[in-house]
Every structure is written in structure tokens, then in C-alpha cells.
Structure 1
Amino acid sequence: MSQIQQLQDIMKGLRLVETAKHLPHLIREAEQKDLSFTQFLLDVTSYEQTRREEKQLNNRLKWATFPFSKTLEEFNLKEQKSLSNKQLNRLKDLTWIEQLYNLILLGPPGVGKTHLAVGLGIEAINQGYKAIFTSMGDLIHNLKTEEITRKSKARMKRIREADLVIIDDLMFMAMDQQEANMFFHLINDLYNQSSIILTSNKAPKEWGELLGDQAITTAILDRILHRVEIIHLNEDSYRMKHRSTIFGEQSVSK
């Protein structure tokens, strides 16, 4: 067995798997550039650090379960004039996460609420935060099955440990007493621990109708609205303006 193979086996034993694979290239590069021993060791350890950071980033993106990958750079402010470039940049710097602020993105379907939420989530992950995305329907399902299935238990654990929790389509359906109570306990767990982004087409004053219990609604709002920024996205639906049609340029009415 060659010395390189011995080194690779030792590295694998030390869990430096990616560096072990890349070691022959690093050695050749060191020989070609006549690097010092110190520089060579620096290159080896830097390579391992970079690979681990990339793997951690990929894992955080995977665990976030975004429905699609759209960044803030892809968010078209020309289509959504109710949000200024200055405001978007303030959101992008993520100081509000450090301050445990919540965001409520309000507006009708198709105006970009979910895109903005996902873009902020991706930005948070790129800056080292743990973010997770869930629809309201999936969240309720996971809460109801948390004590039954290992998958739901692991999912809820990640939600409670996240720095940023994105809940999409809040209040799209009415909740029964049990569901509303479980949702309150989750919000209470996240309070003063995580930032929450909520997207909804209903203003907070309407949430009581769907939660069905005014006491629970008040308790939830008390925690969410303690530190919150409410952003109204009121332009016409982007999807409707840019929808494709089987009729080409011809109007349906003709």
C-alpha cells in the first residue's frame, strides 16, 4: 500500500472523507507549486472546512423543505410596487431575526407572498441560520401525528429548533378546538426563541373566525404581534398577469 493510500485510509478514519478523495490532487498541486509544508497543511484543512460548510448548507436547504427555490434577487419589485427596494434590502439584512421579529405577509393569491417568504428563508440559510418551511395544512397534520409517527416527531423537532419558521397559507381553512389549541402551543414554544413568517390572505382581525376560539386567538395574536412587521402585498396577481393560454394572443371572449 502506498503512502498516499495510507494517508487516505487514516483520513477516512478521522471522517475526512472528502479530503481523502481529493488528496492526490492536493499533493500534485503542492508539488507543482513547490508549496511549503505549512501551506500544504493549510490547503488540506481549508479544503475540508469548505466541503463541510457546503454539506451543512445543502443539509439545511434540504431540511427547510422549500416548495421551490426562488431567491430574493428573483423577486420582481416592478410587479409588486407595494414593497420598495429599500424595504426589501432591510428585510434581506435579517437583523429582524436577531431581534426575534415576526413578519406577516398579507395579500390575495398570486402576489408573491410565498416567493418572498422562500427568498427570505434561503437568504437566512445562506447566512448561517436554520430555517424551515411548512404549509398550514402540513403543520396541522404533523402536530396531530407528532406522538404517533417518528417522521412527524422529527419534523416538529426541527421546526421548534429553527431560527426562522415559515408558515404558508395561514388560516386557509377553519380549525377545530384541538387543532387551534395545538397551534397555540407551537406558537408559544416559538415565542422569544424563533422568528416566524406567516403568509395569509386574511388580516389578523379575521383569524378569530377560523380559529373558532376567541381566547386562543387572543393568546396567539398576543405572541405573534408583540414584535411584528405586517407587509401588505396588494398588486394584481403575478400568476394571472403572466399566465399562459391555449388560445395564444386571441381573446377568450372573441
Structure 2
Amino acid sequence: MSITGLRPVTGTTGDPLAEAIELTKRLKLPHIRRAMADLIPTAKAQRWDPAEVVRVLLAEEAAGRDQANLRTRRKRATFPAGKTFGDWDEAASSIPRPTQDALRTLEWVHRKENLSICGPSGTGKSHFCEALGQAAVEAGMTVAWFTIEDLGVMVRRHRPDDSVTRAMARLIRTDLIIVDDIGLLPVSADAAEGFYRLVDAAYERRALAVSSNLHPSGFDEIMPKTLATATVDRLLHHAHVVVTQGESFRLNQATNGRGVKRLH
């Protein structure tokens, strides 16, 4: 029985560490390569078991890949502000704490259910949605963030070659899709169509989270009634509806002088 790694390698330099580094380049193992320079001398000095050396190197590669994948998922999500639960104040939110905790488990995402958060401006809707999206990314899921007008842009871009359906099919490969800030302005015809197409394509296939100044029952105020009815019917069938209340966090901070740093 022979092991390839124990046979002489053509063009060897006589330096096993240098050859190992070259092999990590060939096999695309960058995280092992970075760890080897420090790890191998330590392992020799402390007389590590060879299996332990292999285990630690593979663990470094796995951890490095996990971090790289996390960065990629976060970049592709196109979150607007980088809000997470690290800067979320559970006590200040009008969302009941048990509801917050239940939603943060992300079980609803796994079950392909929807979330509709509605309420006045400044009551934490976007922050909570983005924090949920960030948590989903950290849990290994893919997330996509849109405004409703982004969906209109997508429809206009794909309408000339009749590829809107294919674009939506690609989009709903994402585990969680978030549509933020519906209801501030009237919705364009393209945006209304894009929102309906998204909700219809994702229905019972993917999880959607929607934040809005309007309760979904009032979407017919900003988009054609027939389209609004069809959209809301699908959106709310498997949805958790959360209503926020209270004064705007932003306005409260502004009136208390906490919206800017003091000038000197």
C-alpha cells in the first residue's frame, strides 16, 4: 500500500513546509496556508500528535471558509444600515418581549412563513427587520433586502425581454426576503406589479418579511385594489402580524438633543 504524499514529488525543493504551502495554493486552501507558518513550528516544539496537527489545520480552514461565506451572504443581502440585535433595545420597543424572542428564533423562516410589521414611522420596524435578517445570515441563511420601488426597477429591467418570471424565480431561491418601508409614498404601477409577483412567487415557498406604515389591509390605499387584494391574500395567509406603537425613536432623540453630537 502506498500513500501519494509519501512519494517524492517532482520538482521538490527539499523543504517540506514550502512544498506544503505550494500544495495549499494548488488545492485552494488559503486558511490552512495562513495557519501553517505559526502552527507547524509550535507542533514540532510541543511534539503534537500528527492527527492533532491535521485536525487543527482542517478546523482553521473550516472556520475561515465559514467566515468568508458569512461575509459573502451579508454583502449579497445589501442591508441598508448594518443594524443588528447588538444595538436593539428590547425594552424600548412596543413589540411584546415574548413576540420578539419567538421571532428571533427564526423558526418562522424555516417554516416559510411571513412577517408583517406595521406601525408609525420611527417605531423600530426597519431596525427589527434588518436585525432579523442579520441573524438569519449569521445562522447560515441567505437574505435579500428590497424597498418596494427596487421591485419596480426589477420589473422594468426585465420586462423588455419578458424575463420577469425568471428573475423572480432566481430571487426566491433566497431563504428570507425583506421588503422595507411600504406605505410612505404611493406605489408606482411597476412596483405594485413587482410586489405582487414576489409575494405570489414566494407563497408557501420562501419566507417574506414586510415593514409598512400601513396595515396590509390598507394596501389598497397605495396600489390598485384588485392587485392589493390578491397580494394581501397571499401575504397574510401564513403570516405573523406585528403592530408597533408609540412615538418615533428618531424624533424623541432629536427633541432630547441626542440626535447629534454636541458642538464645541
Q: TM-score range by the shorter chain?
A: 0.7 to 0.9
Deviation by residue 1:51-80 (Cα, 9 ceiling, x = unmatched): 000100111111111111222242213322
Tell me whether 174-183 or 61-70 shows the greater mean CA deviation. 174-183
Q: TM-score, normalised by structure 1?
A: 0.87
Q: Contact 2:35 / 2:57 at 8 angstroms: preserved in 1?
A: no
The alignment status of 1:235 with 2:241, answered yes or no, reads no
Separation in 1, partners of 2:57, 2:31: 11
For residue 88 of structure 2, what is the aligned residue in structure 1? 75
Query: SS at the partner of 1:87?
Result: helix
The answer on 1:35 being equivalent to 2:39 is no
Matched-pair contact (CA < 8 Å) for 1:142–1:153:
no
Larger radius of gyration: 2
Q: SS where residue 182 of structure 2 aligns? A: coil
TM normalised by structure 2 equals: 0.84
Structure-2 change in CA distance of 1:176 and 1:111 (3 Å): closer
The one-letter code of the counterpart of 1:31 is K
Q: RMSD of aligned C-alpha atoms?
A: 2.4
Q: Residue 145 of structure 1 aligns with which residue?
A: 157
Amino acid at match of 1:194: R
Q: Is the 8 A contact 2:152 2:188 kept in 1?
A: no
CA distance in 1: counterparts of 2:104 and 2:195, whole angstroms: 28
Q: Which residue of 2 is the match for residue 55 of structure 1?
A: 68
Look up the match of 1:252. none
Q: Which residue pairs with 1:46 in the alignment?
A: 59
SS of the residue 1:90 aligns to: helix
Q: Structure 2: 5+ residue runs without aligned partners?
A: 1-12
Structure 1 Cα separation of the partners of residues 159 and 180 of structure 2: 23
Q: 1:145 to 1:116 in 2, by over 3 A?
A: same
SS of 2:117's equivalent in the other structure is strand
1:159 matched residue in structure 2: 171
1:6-46: CA deviations, max 9, x gaps? 11111111110221132111212212331111111111111
- Say if 2:118 and 2:244, in contact at 8 Å, map to a contact too: yes
How many equivalent pairs are there?
Answer: 243
Alignment partners' CA distance in 2, 1:132 and 1:27: 41
Instruction: Give the aligned partner of residue 84 of structure 1.
Output: 96
Shift of 1:155: 8.4
Q: Which residue does the alignment assign to 2:114? A: 102
Give the Å deviation of 1:177.
Answer: 4.1
Per the alignment, residue 172 of structure 1 pairs with 184
List runs of 5+ in structure 1 lacking aligned partners.
Answer: 249-254
Are 1:22 and 2:42 counterparts?
A: no
Q: Which residue is equivalent to 1:187?
A: 199
Is the 8 Å Cα contact of residues 153 and 191 (structure 2) preserved in structure 1? no
Partners of 1:19 and 1:202 lie apart in 2 by 52
Aligned identity (percent) is 24
Is 2:212 the counterpart of 1:209?
Answer: no
Return the letter of the residue paired with 2:235. Answer: I
Cα deviation, residue 147, structure 1: 5.7
- What is the CA deviation profile of residues 75-122 of structure 1, one whole-angstrom value per residue up to 9, with x for unaligned ones? 213322x22222211111111111211111111111111100001001
For residues 220 and 64 of structure 1, what CA distance do their matches in structure 2 show? 23
1:235–1:41 Cα change, 3 Å: same
